[in-house]
Amino acid sequence: MSDTSPDLSKLSGELYRQWEKGMAQWWDQVLESPAFLSGMGQSLSGQAQARANYEQAVDQTLEQLHIPSRKDFIRLTRVATMLEDKLLSLEDKLLAVSDQLAAQERETLLARVDAAEARIEAREQLAALQARLDALEGKAAPAATEPAEQKGRARRGKEESA
């Protein structure tokens, strides 16, 4: 029994594949035929119309019974969705403003850093100028005292001779 079973499986597999091949060819002809396409379209329209009629009938019955209908719930959920949309639009605007603020903050920070750097640079330049001035004054001081002493000696000499 067990010896014949694998052969049976193999045979059934082969039979299936032959059948599948034949069916595929047949389906190819059927599924693209004008009759099938037209029937498919009509069936879809019919189903859609039936669905619409059914929903309309249910809604009318519920309305007559003063029970909220499907339409009412749809209207409510639409309003909720619109509210969510408005909230999300507000959130978008807030995020955009917060982006702008962050960008401005960054710019302000950069400007302050630039200003601080400029001040440091100016201070360094000033210090350098001061140092140069001090150096110049240091050189100028002995030179300025020598001629004054010479003038003083000359004046005293003139007074003595007179």
Partner 1 sequence: MMTLFDRTATTARYLSQRPAERLRIGVTPHQVIFRQNKATLRYFAPTHPQGQQHTPIFVSMPLINKWEVWDLLPGRSVMEDLTAAGVPVYLLDWGTPGPEDQGVTLGKLVDDLLVRMFDRARRHAGQALDAVGYCVGGTFLAVHLSRHESARRAAFVCTPIDFHSSGRLAVWAQPSCFPVDAAIDGFGNYPGRVIREAFSWLRPEGQTRKWVGLWEKIEDPEFRDLWAALEKWNTDAVDFPGEAYREYVRRCYFENTLLKHVGDPGVWILDGKPVDLQNAKIEAHSIAADRDHIVPPAAAHALADAWGGAVTTKTVKGGHVAIAANGVISKSLLEWIRR
**Binding flag, residue 132, partner 1 (CB under 8 A):** no
The 3-state secondary structure of 24-63, one letter per residue: HHHHHHHHCCHHHHHHHHHHHHHHHHHHHHHHHHHHHHHH
Binding to partner 1, residues 71-130 (CB under 8 A): 73-74, 77-78, 81, 84, 88, 92, 95
Tally of helices (H runs) and strands (E runs) in the chain: 3, 0
* String of contacts with partner 1 for each residue 45-64, x by CB under 8 A: x-xxxxxx------------
**How many residues make contact with partner 1 (CB under 8 A)?**
37
Compare residues 76 and 113 and give the one whose CB is closer to partner 1: 76
Task: Read off the tokens for 107.
Answer: 């710019």
Structure-token match 């039979």, residue found:
15
Structure-token match 């710019």, residue found:
107
Residues that bind partner 1 (CB under 8 A): 1-2, 5-6, 8-9, 12-13, 16, 20, 23-24, 27, 31-32, 37-38, 40-41, 44-45, 47-52, 70, 73-74, 77-78, 81, 84, 88, 92, 95
